Chain A
Amino acid sequence: MVDIGQGFLIQVDPESLRAAAGRADRVSDDLAAAAFQAYGADAEAWQAQARGLGHRISALHSEVHGLAGSLRYGADVYEAAEAGWILDTQGRGSAEGAAALADLDRLAAQYAGSGADPIADGRLLRAEREGHALDDVLENLAAIPDLRWVISALFPSTAASGVAGALPPPGLLAAGAYTALVARGRGVVARGAKLGADPNPQEIAVEGERPRASAKGAPTGLAGAARRIPGGPDDLARVETYTFDDGHQEHAVYVQGTREMLQDGDWNVIPGPEEGHDTADMESNADIYLGEVESEAYRGVVQALEEAGVDPGEPVHAFGHSQGAMIIERIASEGDLQVDTAVSYATPQQALLDDTLHVNLAYTDDPVAALTGAGVPGPAGAAGSVVITDTFDPGPDPLAPMEPHLLENYLALAAEADASADPRLEGVRDVFAHLAEADSMRTSTWNASRVPRGDG
């Protein structure tokens, strides 16, 4: 079942919880008054059926009163947990750290002597969420078939047979390697973090078509936007330019994920000459995720936006899947373009943004999406930023581990979110409604290839 939250800790923003508590307070006041009156009836009508009503209304009042208290306490626990995360990740010396410390001091003073401790409960909540962030993926990886018997069958009388028996099961091996990779902490991009220059850069060629008028109009929701993410070998990115009646322009960009896993036989993750022609490969993944440098695919998308006529001051609404999502996260984080909206389907990195409406969709058992680790505890962007999650549960299919990651499966999660009445999705719904008001739209697709060394 779809789960919408602001981050891995904060399900609902504390202010909304406090507002709900205020509404519950008003109900509670009515019930207190009703109980008072019913007790009056009790006292007068000694032989009447009214007896016991006062007690029952009073019990209901206590429940509603307790509900309001729980909502307020929940808001404080969320804030305490988020403040703890900020202190641990950004330190006391930072402005955010100092504000977090002040929040914790305020909460400590507020609850002193009350017997309740939102700071301790926040710590427990965070430990619980972080401790179980990878559970679904690790369960998924455990489904990798154990093929050690193949080695023994092929080499029954050799040492290789014994080696096979001594190897840990592949699922266990994969789970260990995966956990170690996530523990490197590359999943969250600090606010304002910049990509460095690629120490092993390669010239790229960005080719695209001339933008053409389209009658397609804006996508109507998250699923519609996901369907516009390109999937072919020659279209790394699709750019749409919307022109409004006042003449101003806004753009939507859709970036596809990794297309080429094996073009050099080593997934291109071994440092060295980047010979692969296709920039949307594992080398580009590793460049950003592990190397924190501008990959060829990243540069290709940035150049495509320039060539499509995107002015740095014009609003950009960006959508991407997998590596494409990581690229739009980083373009938004860099701040060179005015990215008003970033919608990531299965991103391995989640950037902390300020003014961008930031929406992340992730299956909890998607090994790529879970590379973010637990992720960000609260909103990772402007008001309306949310994280939309669900569990895909691919079942015992031997190819199961990557099933949740497929874009076609993210369409289902996006459609679930589109169908939801959750008011927190109003921000992203407004983006689609706004784009639909444009007078016209032009579209173009772009590709980025590495120029073989010596040809450049």
Chain B
Amino acid sequence: MTSDPYSPTAVARGFLTRARWHLEQAAPALAALASEVAWESPAARLFRERVDTQRREACVLIDECDSASAWLEAHELRPVDPAPAEEEGR
């Protein structure tokens, strides 16, 4: 069995790779935004907390792209068969 670059899973992995790339741009940019906005005021502190929450969410999403890609890769090397997939889902 070989990997089919046109299989739905391979195409999906390509999408995920590109999604991950954009998230990788976003996460440090959010960190930079939070640190650049180093204003001392209650509103600015709330702003930084909010941006930091968004940065952490971006990092979580990067991890999820990775795990989804890994899952897809693991399933690329065998023919797509709904039955085993259902079994595995149980």
Contacts and interface: CB of A to CB of B under 8 A. Distances in A.
Q: Do A and B bind each other?
A: yes
Contact of B12 (A3, A20, A41): A41
Interface in B22-65: 22-23, 25-26, 29-30, 32-33, 36-44, 47, 50-51, 54, 57-58, 61, 64-65
Nearest to A3: B41
B50 A40 contact: no
In terms of DSSP, what is the predominant structure of the interface of chain B? helix
A417 B18 CA distance: 44
A44 B9 contact: yes
A421 interface: yes
B38 A422 contact: yes
A38 interface: yes
A24 B33 contact: yes
B36 A44 contact: no
In terms of DSSP, what is the predominant structure of the interface of chain A? helix
Nearest to A423: B38
B85 interface: yes
B29 A44 contact: no
A37 B21 CA distance: 10
B23 A30 contact: yes
A174 interface: no
Nearest to A36: B19
B42 A44 contact: no
Contacts of B12: 40-41, 44-45, 48, 50
B16 A38 contact: yes
Contact of A60 (B15, B57, B75): B57
A4 interface: yes
Contact of A30 (B26, B38, B43, B47): B26
Contacts of A107: none
Interface residues of A, number: 41
A30 B27 CA distance: 10
Given A44-B11, A49-B67, A421 B38 contact: yes
A53 B64 contact: yes
A63 B40 contact: no
A423 B71 CA distance: 45
Interface string A385-424: 0000000000000000000000000000000010011111
B23 A31 contact: yes
Contacts of B77: none
Of the four ranges (under 10, 10 to 19, 20 to 34, 35 or more), the interface on chain B belongs to: 35 or more
A72 to B, nearest CB: 13
Given A3-B42, A12-B39, A60-B57, A37 B8 contact: no
A47 interface: yes
Interface in A18-46: 20, 23-24, 26-27, 30-31, 33-35, 37-38, 40-41, 44-46
A38 B65 contact: yes
A34 B23 contact: yes
A164 interface: no
A64 interface: yes
A288 B55 CA distance: 52
A48 B32 CA distance: 33
B50 A67 contact: yes
A161 interface: no
B51 A424 contact: no
Contacts of B19: 34-35, 37-38, 41, 53, 57
A131 B38 CA distance: 28
Contacts of B16: 37-38, 41, 50, 53
Contacts of B33: 20, 23-24, 27
Given A3-B40, A45-B9, A37 B72 contact: no
A34 B24 CA distance: 9
User: Ordered nearest first, which 7 A-B pairs have the shortest CB separation?
Assistant: A45-B12, A34-B22, A41-B15, A37-B19, A40-B15, A44-B12, A4-B40
5 contacts: A24-B33, A27-B30, A41-B68, A44-B15, A46-B8
Given A11-B44, A30-B25, A57-B61, 4 more contacts: A20-B37, A23-B33, A41-B12, A49-B72
